């Protein structure tokens, strides 16, 4: 099929490159990606300077580069970097790697790392539309998710979220002023029947404004610790197909589910036969949060728009971090990586068990909770207290215990909320016991008030 420019319905595109790549994929995929894009996304334009960098890939020795304004690396104060690993091995960054790590780099990411990440995605998710997908390194998953929201949402557009929802996702969304379909959770996350009912209601409303996107955290969710089973994932994917939604799969806890890797339910990316899933992975919880290395995988046309955003916001992600992660993955190999994530699973499962023991010792009768199947959070409902906000914020510190009130995880934080989130990642079992004892005393005091 040949496609000409007049077949594009969207009128706001000013970026020709994106325009044509969208066209191509739009018809190939049967997904009309242009209809999902916000006005801001439509105004993004490529950097001519970044574009010239393509001539720096395998340049001829006689090329005289008078292009982009890179600083002269001979003037950087670093000569060599060697990093010791916990297992006694040492990563030594070669001169070449150091040059890449200290200089501006390609917006999509450090090329060797991008290759490794693509192999990783193929191994874990074998995306059905892999040949039409792409991958971008982002500055943490937070950066990827917020850029995706900005790409998709204009003020007043509807977005589907779970209730409760990751608090920082709510912060990202707040600035975009969307309207929310907040879908109730149970102990497997978003409830499909409620999702379907809310979408049906929206479709039958006078406005008939349908959401464009659905955001969820499928594994070891933040804040509830719930993991969605395979049947539910398939059901939600089918609903997204029916209502033509883009799914934003934010999955930083994938490797922190306590299940063996082969028992983790299939990701939405691996179910995605249409090209409607953007998946966000992160090294924050499995390698280091400070390196700020994460990646987004999904349909190439949408990633092309996100790449323009990255180009204008950060030029490229932290190159030094990317070189380090790449070298670490190379040093470990697939086996070493699996050994590392298996150790993490055991560590966090033991933390979870210690937290459950502390909670049942001190909070039985005061709080209810579901047992998290992964991750680092225990989601507590306080039985006899109407609103945990004032209790924690005004009096928690006097009892030497701080956790996050449930109101941080809902759209309308002014409503009373009986929940709270306790993180058990960085405390010892003794501290957990003490913390839960202090919390019990705080709750009793609050009930008596
Ligand atoms: N999404 C969720 C659900 C999270 O819990 C977090 C970390 N708090 C992030 C995204 C951010 O991760 P990163 O450090 O990769 O930006």
Q: How many helices and strands, by DSSP H and E, does the chain display?
A: 14, 14
- Give the single-character DSSP code of 58: S
pLDDT at 94 over 70: yes
**311-369 residue pLDDT tens:** 999 999 999 999 999 999 999 999 999 999 999 999 999 999 999 999 999 999 999 99
160 has which bridge partners? Answer: 181, 214
pLDDT band at 30 (very low <50, low <70, confident <90, very high): confident
pLDDT for position 29: 56
**83-92 residue pLDDT tens:** 999 989 999 9
pLDDT for position 51: 76
- CA 234 – CA 268 distance, rounded (Å): 8
How many beta carbons lie within 10 A of that of residue 211, not counting itself? 25
DSSP for 280-315, written as a single string: EEESTTTT-STT--EEEEEEHHHHHHHHHHHHHHTS
Degrees, nearest 5: CA angle 292-295-298: 160
- CA 58 – CA 112 distance, rounded (Å): 15
Range in 88-102, 168-182, 183-197, 328-342 the model is least confident about: 88-102
- Section 414-439 average pLDDT: 97
Q: Which of 162, 280, 282 most suits a substitution to test ligand 1, by most atoms within 8 Å of the C-beta?
A: 282
Place of tokens 């999509």: 108
- 133 CA to middle of ligand 1, Å? 23
pLDDT band at 392 (very low <50, low <70, confident <90, very high): very high
pLDDT at 201 over 50: yes
Question: What is the sign, positive or negative, of the torsion defined by CA atoms of 229, 235, 238, 239?
Answer: negative
The token duo for 253 is 């806890």
pLDDT at 8 over 60: no
pLDDT for position 213: 98
pLDDT at 158 over 80: yes
pLDDT at 139 over 70: yes
| ipTM of the prediction greater than 0.90, yes or no | yes
Quick one: which atom of ligand 1 is closest to the CA of 289?
14
Question: What is the sign, positive or negative, of the torsion defined by CA atoms of 3, 9, 11, 12?
Answer: negative
pLDDT for position 168: 98
pLDDT for position 379: 98
End-to-end CA distance of the chain: 72
Nearest CA to ligand 1 atom 11: 142
pLDDT at 262 over 90: no
Quick one: which atom of ligand 1 is closest to the CA of 169?
1
- 184 CA to middle of ligand 1, Å? 21
**368-387 residue pLDDT tens:** 999 999 999 999 999 989 99
- Section 269-284 average pLDDT: 97
- 251 CA to middle of ligand 1, Å? 8
- CA 177 – CA 249 distance, rounded (Å): 21
By the 8 A CB rule, do 97 and 70 touch?
no
Give every CB contact of residue 43 below 8 A, 6+ residues apart in sequence.
12, 14
The whole model's pTM is what? 0.92
By the 8 A CB rule, do 135 and 110 touch?
no
221: left (phi over 0), alpha (psi -120 to 50) or beta: beta
Pocket (CB within 6 angstroms of ligand 1): 140-142, 166, 217, 222, 250, 252, 282, 284, 289, 294
pLDDT for position 11: 26
Who wins on pLDDT, 57 or 434?
A: 434
- CA 424 – CA 377 distance, rounded (Å): 6
What average pLDDT does the chain have? 91
- 284 CA to middle of ligand 1, Å? 8
């Amino acid at each position: 099929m040949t496609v000409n420019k007049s077949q594009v319905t969207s009128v706001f595109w000013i970026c020709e490159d994106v325009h044509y790549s969208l066209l191509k994929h739009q018809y190939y995929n049967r997904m009309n990606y242009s209809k999902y894009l916000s006005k801001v996304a439509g105004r993004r334009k490529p950097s001519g300077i970044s574009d010239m960098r393509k001539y720096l890939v395998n340049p001829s020795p006689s090329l005289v580069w008078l292009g982009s304004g890179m600083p002269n690396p001979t003037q950087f104060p670093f000569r060599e970097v060697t990093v010791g690993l916990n297992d006694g091995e040492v990563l030594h960054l070669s001169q070449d790697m150091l040059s890449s790590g200290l200089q501006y780099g390609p917006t999509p990411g450090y090329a060797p790392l991008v290759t490794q990440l693509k192999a990783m995605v193929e191994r874990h998710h074998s995306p059905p539309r892999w040949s039409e997908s792409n991958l971008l390194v982002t500055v943490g998953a937070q950066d990827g998710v917020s850029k995706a929201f900005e790409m998709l949402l204009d003020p007043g557009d509807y977005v589907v979220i779970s209730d409760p929802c990751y608090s920082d996702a709510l912060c990202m969304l707040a600035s975009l002023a969307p309207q929310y379909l907040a879908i109730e959770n149970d102990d497997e996350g978003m409830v499909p029947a409620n999702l379907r009912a809310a979408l049906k209601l929206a479709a039958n409303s006078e406005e008939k404004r349908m959401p464009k996107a659905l955001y969820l955290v499928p594994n070891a969710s933040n804040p509830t610790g719930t993991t969605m089973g395979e049947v539910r994932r398939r059901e939600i994917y089918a609903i997204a197909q029916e209502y033509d939604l883009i799914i934003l799969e934010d999955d930083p806890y994938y490797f922190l589910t306590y299940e063996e890797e082969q028992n983790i339910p299939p990701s939405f990316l691996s179910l995605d036969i249409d090209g409607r899933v953007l998946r966000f992975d992160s090294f924050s919880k499995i390698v280091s949060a400070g390196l700020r290395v994460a990646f987004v995988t999904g349909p190439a046309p949408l990633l092309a728009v996100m790449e323009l955003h990255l180009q204008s916001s950060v030029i490229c992600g932290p190159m030094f971090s990317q070189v380090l992660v790449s070298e670490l993955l190379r040093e470990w190999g697939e086996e070493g990586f699996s050994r590392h994530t298996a150790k993490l699973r055991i560590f966090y499962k033991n933390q979870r068990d210690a937290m459950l023991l502390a909670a049942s010792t001190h909070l039985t009768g005061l709080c209810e909770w579901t047992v998290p199947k992964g991750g680092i959070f225990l989601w507590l409902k306080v039985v006899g207290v109407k609103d945990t906000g004032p209790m924690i914020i005004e009096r928690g510190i006097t009892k030497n215990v701080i956790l996050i009130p449930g109101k941080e995880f809902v759209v309308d934080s002014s409503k009373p909320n009986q929940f709270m989130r306790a993180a058990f990642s960085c405390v010892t079992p003794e501290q957990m016991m003490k913390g839960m004892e202090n919390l019990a005393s705080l709750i009793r005091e609050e009930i008596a008030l």
